[in-house]
Amino acid sequence: MVATTNNKGLVLAGLMLGLIFAELDETVVSTAMPTIIRELHGLSLYGWVAGVYMLAVTMFMPILGKLADLYGRKRVYLSCMALFMAGSIVGGLADSMTMLLVGRGIQGIGAGGLMPLALVIIGDTYPLEQRAKIQSLFGPLMILPQLLGPTVGGYMVGHVNWHWVFLINIPVGLLSAAVLGIGMRESRGEEKRAIDWTGAATLVAALLSLLMAPVLIDNRGLSWSSPLIVGLLALSAALTALFVFIERRAKEPIIPLRLFRHRSVVVLSCIVLILMLGIMGGIATFPFFAQNVMGLTPTAAGYLMLAFMAGAIPSSIANGFLITKVPYRNLFIACFTLPVVGFYLLTRIGLDTSVLYVIVTFFILGLGIGVLFGSDNLIVQESVDKADSGAALGTVQLFQSLGATIGLSVFGSLLARHINQGVSGMADRLPAGTANTIATGGIPQGLPHDLLIKVQTVFADAFQGIFGISFVFVIAAFAACWFLKKEVLQKREETPGAETVAATAASAE
């Protein structure tokens, strides 16, 4: 596969348009879900709408990356956009929850290829230094959907109808696909390439078994120790072992095992997995603390998170300029000291925590974690052979997605357990029926002041415990940064013998 002359501006515009609206769809749908659930009478399936989408995104991410390596980035990316639009049509025309879930699943498959393939296409289109600056803006730009989503979703539901939450994706997707199709030129070799269908099916089954565990816990109230969950985790482990066995013998493996000979791929996969496992649950549930302990409105609690992006944006941009001039291990070590500080500060939150304290803390976290916005993808792309870049990016993002998904569920379960245990002794003083739902529904209104303080103290203690666990995970991620190579990022072709080494490794596989 060789990319011929591209119109770089059109390629970038097409990719950014598609990515922003794919991300926007998530927040718009979340805003519209109460109305959708009411009209489709689907309260019992509410949690599955997000669960099915997440399952599809995660399961197909590495598969689509490998298909792009085999059959061309443009063809597979446009196919993913077509799938996303097809899912939008099914969701937009849904007259039942079953049809809506099918549409979200199809959307998720398409979305699973959009981000990793966009990064690969940019890698094929721009030289390293330009790409570092462009990719450093990718993460910050994804804040736009978070800001616009609630407004767009509310307008659609209030002034049009919820069906257009999905159908609006069609003209935008067509425009994005047309811009990219016109701007991008790609020639492909004519040799036939075998697809590892057995490996792909085994990988999907292994990931489905693993990710169904947190989905069932969140939507069916099961615990991590229940027989069904333990059985699913055991099945996932067995299928993962079978997948490795299959990949060792496949001619074109979905996840080439030679990728794990690259230190950068292994270390970055560990970093994003550990980090997402440890921080997503605490950060995602923080608005719950802000509303119930700090007394903020839901909107104000949500916008507190913008302090994180205020730190991440300049950090991402600065690291995009520095990564081709400074050893990237040094950048990661320096930046990851800040999340350690930030999560230590979060372990000190309590009843008297001020808005300023939270803003400063989240700003520090953003400054540190901003190094991951684009930098990890750049390092992966320049660490592996170009023919494996799609599979490599899909694999690292798979670990990131797994960490976030499992972390959200585990931390959510821990938080609910701590709060329920803390309020169990006050059940007779709380409004009837609220003691068992307070961990998800919040503190009821009208409590006597002394009881309110006790319940808020339970919340504060529970969050301190959660952030204490996060603090340990962040220290582990910081330690992992020391295993990165101490080298300045440079284009692989500029390193003498790099292609020869890669070819030798590939033939030895």
Tens of pLDDT, residue by residue over 96-132, are 888 988 999 999 899 888 878 887 888 777 777 777 7
Question: Does residue 192 have a pLDDT over 70?
Answer: no
106 and 211 housed in the same domain? no
Q: Is residue 370 one of the residues assigned to a domain?
A: yes
Q: Give the Cα separation of 190 and 196 in Å (integer).
A: 18
End-of-domain residue from the set 168, 187, 206: 187
360 and 442 housed in the same domain? yes
DSSP per-residue codes, 346-403: HTT--TT--HHHHHHHHHHHHHHHTTHHHHHHHHHHHHS-GGGHHHHHHHHHHHHHHH
243 and 266 housed in the same domain? no
Q: Which pLDDT value is given to residue 363? A: 93
Q: Is residue 464 one of the residues assigned to a domain?
A: yes
Question: Does residue 1 have a pLDDT over 60?
Answer: no
Residue 468: which pLDDT band, with cuts at 50, 70 and 90? very high
174 and 277 housed in the same domain? no
For residues 390 and 331, the model is more confident at: 331
Q: Is residue 315 one of the residues assigned to a domain?
A: yes
Q: Which pLDDT value is given to residue 481? A: 93
Q: Give the range of the structural domain holding residue 30, as residue numbers without chain letter.
A: 1-187
Task: Please check whether residue 477 is in contact with residue 278, taking contact to mean a CB–CB distance below 8 angstroms.
Answer: yes
Task: Supply the pTM of this predicted model.
Answer: 0.80
Q: Which of 141-150, 166-175, 251-260, 452-461 has the lowest average pLDDT?
A: 141-150
Q: Give the Cα separation of 211 and 177 in Å (integer).
A: 31
Q: Is residue 493 one of the residues assigned to a domain?
A: yes
Structurally, the chain folds into a number of domains equal to 3
Task: Read off the pLDDT of each residue in 294-320 and give the average, rounded to a whole number.
Answer: 81
Q: Which of 162-166, 268-272, 445-449 has the lowest average pLDDT?
A: 445-449
Task: Read off the pLDDT of each residue in 181-200 and give the average, rounded to a whole number.
Answer: 73
271 and 239 housed in the same domain? no
**pLDDT tens digit string along 193-228?**
677 888 889 988 998 888 888 878 777 777 778 889
End-of-domain residue from the set 233, 250, 267: 250
Q: Which pLDDT value is given to residue 118? A: 83
Q: Is residue 476 one of the residues assigned to a domain?
A: yes
Residue 187: which pLDDT band, with cuts at 50, 70 and 90? low
As a whole-number percent, the residues of the chain with pLDDT over 70 amount to 86
Q: Which pLDDT value is given to residue 156? A: 75
For residues 435 and 409, the model is more confident at: 409
360 and 445 housed in the same domain? yes
77 and 211 housed in the same domain? no
320 and 417 housed in the same domain? yes
Q: Which pLDDT value is given to residue 509? A: 35
Q: Give the Cα separation of 140 and 309 in Å (integer).
A: 7
130 and 218 housed in the same domain? no
Torsion angles phi and psi, residue 91, rounded to 5: -65, -40
- The C-alpha R_g of the chain, in whole angstroms, comes to 23
DSSP 168: T
Q: Which of 24, 90, 454, 489 is nearest to 264 (CA)?
A: 489
Q: Is residue 192 one of the residues assigned to a domain?
A: no
Q: What is the CATH number of the domain that holds 128?
A: 1.20.1250.20
DSSP 187: E
As a whole-number percent, the residues of the chain with pLDDT over 90 amount to 20
Q: Is residue 97 one of the residues assigned to a domain?
A: yes
Question: Does residue 501 have a pLDDT over 50?
Answer: no
Q: Which pLDDT value is given to residue 41? A: 76
210 and 294 housed in the same domain? no
Tokens of 474: 């962040």
End-of-domain residue from the set 163, 187, 211: 187
HEC assignment per residue over 237-305: HHHHHHHHHHHCCCCCCCCCHHHHHCHHHHHHHHHHHHHHHHHHHHHHHHHHHHHHCCCCCHHHHHHCC
Tokens of 447: 């409590």
Q: Give the Cα separation of 340 and 474 in Å (integer).
A: 6
In the predicted model, what is the mean pLDDT of the chain?
Answer: 81
Residue 478: which pLDDT band, with cuts at 50, 70 and 90? very high
Q: Is residue 108 one of the residues assigned to a domain?
A: yes
Question: Does residue 452 have a pLDDT over 50?
Answer: yes
Q: Give the Cα separation of 112 and 294 in Å (integer).
A: 37
11 and 141 housed in the same domain? yes
221 and 295 housed in the same domain? no
